[in-house]
Amino acid sequence: MSEIAVILPDGTELSVEEGATVRDAAFAIGPGLGKDTVAGVVDGELVDKETPLHDGADLVIVTDQSDEYLDVLRHSAAHVFAQALQRLHPEAKLTIGPWTDDGFYYDVTSVDLEQEDLEAIEDEMRDIIEDDLDIERVLVDREEALEKYADNPYKRDILEDEAAGDDELSFYQQGEFEDLCKGPHVESTGEIGAVKLLNISAAYWRGDEENDTLTRVYGTAFESESDLEEFLDMREEAKERDHRKLGQELNLFAIDETTGPGLPLYQPNGKRILDELADYAKQLNLDAGYDPVETPHLFRTELWKKSGHYENYVDDMFLLDVNDEEYGLKPMNCPGHATIFDQQSWSYRDLPVRYFEDGKVYRKEQRGELSGLSRVWSFTIDDGHLFVRPDQIEDEINLIIDNILTVFDTFGLDAEVALATRPEKSVGSDEIWEQAETQLRAVLDDSGIDYGIEAGDGAFYGPKIDFAFKDALGRKWDGPTVQLDFNMPDRFDLTYTGEDNEDHQPVMIHRALYGSYERFFMVLIEHFNGKFPFWLAPEQVRILPISDDQLGYAKKLQYELGDFRVDIEDRSWTLGRKIREAQTDRVPYMVIVGGDEEEAETISVRDRKEREAKDVSVEEFRDHLHSEYDEKRPEPDFLADAE
């Protein structure tokens, strides 16, 4: 039998027989690893250990010590939920039940469930876990699978869509329960240490609001009760940090149904923060040699057809008819930037050409998926597009990565990096895609950055490097991207004159530092719990006169601190109430002035950590604020020595 080679995480090749599975490869590495294998990651996709390998596959072996093990365990917990549900409600029809970053969900129908029903299902789940049922994979031929789901149109839909070309289908059995599933799963239900059903919501089949409405039950699972308790505590903390709650309390933004769904309105406090973010990004762009451009909110759809967006994004676009011509609100900024580049003649000496724009874009997300600032119809991307020679790709991407990591460092966010490869819906030849993916992989390998593979998650026009944020609670959010694009320059026939005096096609790089302002703002609200760094805070200093007699002195101080966002609390409250209100509003600094301070022309300073200093000179405080702002320090630190 012939052999194939698979690539291990350290870059070495492992030779195995053609048709070998993940488990076979693990045993080839060593009998101990083979015995401990739970699943595998093949080309970035988590798969069952019995999955056959192909020549050149990237392979990671998953054991109970791997990061991916929790995903496998949660997938099995979803099956335990489905089994428990059907024991208590035999009429329930199952659809899909995947794992998620926080746990799992299962979409079901033909059963009425309320939040109070979850406790009984959870108790049944614990019984199934205690019974330690073996979880076994079995192969079923297509006709038998169709018969099993004769009265379940959702499972039949899966059989006729994702599994359309498979003569044999994998099912997983545990006790009396079986479910159509590709896996992977743990060996037995007893490996699930702790479960909790969280909440119920509505969901559309296939995520399409034209389809049936299903009941979605969310849950989570861990290896131990202590891990579950830690998660539930963090979940309560996350509720307190919810950007929708804080956005209302701190007057940052609102989404009003009378103006339309997914269309955020930024109040003055929120706009001040957005302006600071924009100024910071602008300076980074200018320092990196980018030129500002601006494009309109809509174009003729001829442009979107030329770029490929119409073909791939038309269902998500807002289209309108103007004088019998079709226009579309822009879902992306890149075609406009490509058009600007095309309006001039370029020499190889002119490249790279770098454009940036805070461009408003519009995408018609399904209404059921809209949520605060995390999913909206209208959002702004801090977009950048570079037109480079092929020999400039690596240097330019390295500079972009440095800038993105600078942003992460400024805000105290941890980064996770992944290479996203060709999706099913894409434009361009196999050769172009292979070249682009190879170059991005080489940049990441040479940089020494740890990265994962997101198979099929690239943009339709090219692969990308995805950066994710990890916030103060350890949650992961999608962030900026770097995308390598050989296709759009070809579609727009972009050229520059090379050293040989011939026309050559530039490579287009798409990049953002934040991703979108909306999502980044959401992350910052929750990451900082509304306690923004001094440089970012919408109100930086609040002056608290002890009595109305000091209002004149307070106004003088406001003028002397005029480089900053300073307000005066002039309501006839007690000093204690004024302090509590400033604390609630998360103002970084309070300046307290009474008769003694006015007479000495000094101030008392208090910060939101309740540290205080008296007899402070105004000049000393002002100089510190300038340095704290300029250095973009993460915490107010004028009173750091007072701790």
Residue 367 pLDDT greater than 80, yes or no? no
pLDDT value at residue 473: 84
Which strands make up the sheet holding 39-42, listed edge to edge?
A: 45-48, 39-42, 59-62
Please state the pTM of the whole predicted model: 0.82
How much is the average pLDDT of 136-163?
90
Mean pLDDT, rounded, of the chain = 92
Cβ 128 vs Cβ 86: under 8 Å: no
Residue 149 pLDDT greater than 90, yes or no? yes
Please give the share of the chain, as a percent, with pLDDT higher than 70: 99
How much is the average pLDDT of 491-508?
96
Q: Which residues of 95-126 are buried (b: 16+ CB within 10 A; e: fewer)?
A: bbbebeebbbbbbbbeeebeeebbeebeebbe
How much is the average pLDDT of 572-576?
94
Residue 488 pLDDT greater than 80, yes or no? yes
d(CA 421, CA 455): 5
Task: Say yes or no: do domains 3-62 and 69-228 share a fold.
Answer: no
Pairing of strands 291-292, 253-254: unpaired
CATH number, domain 541-642, options 3.40.50.800, 3.40.50.11900, 3.30.470.20, 3.20.20.330? 3.40.50.800
pLDDT value at residue 643: 59
pLDDT value at residue 641: 75
How much is the average pLDDT of 6-25?
92
d(CA 270, CA 254): 10
The interaxial angle of helices 551-560 and 618-630, nearest 10 deg, is 40
pLDDT tens-digit readout, 247-286: 999 999 999 888 888 999 999 999 999 999 999 999 999 9
pLDDT value at residue 261: 86
Annotated binding-site members: 334, 385, 510
Q: Where are the domains of the chain?
A: 3-62, 69-228, 253-527, 541-642
pLDDT value at residue 1: 63
Cβ 408 vs Cβ 280: under 8 Å: no
Residue 176 pLDDT greater than 90, yes or no? yes
Annotated binding-site members for Zn(2+): 334, 385, 510
Topology (CATH level 3) of domain 253-527: BirA Bifunctional Protein; domain 2 (3.30.930)
Residue 598 pLDDT greater than 80, yes or no? yes
pLDDT value at residue 184: 96
69-228 architecture in CATH?
2-Layer Sandwich (3.30)
Residue 549 pLDDT greater than 70, yes or no? yes
Q: Which residues of 152-189 are buried (b: 16+ CB within 10 A; e: fewer)?
A: bebbbebbeeebeeeeebbbbebeebbbbbbbbbbebb
Topology (CATH level 3) of domain 3-62: Ubiquitin-like (UB roll) (3.10.20)
DSSP annotation string for 315-361: GGS-EEEETTEEEEE-S-SHHHHHHHHHTS--BTTTPPEEEEEEEEE
pLDDT tens-digit readout, 413-468: 988 999 988 887 777 778 878 888 888 888 888 888 888 888 888 877 788 899 99
Residue 642 pLDDT greater than 70, yes or no? no
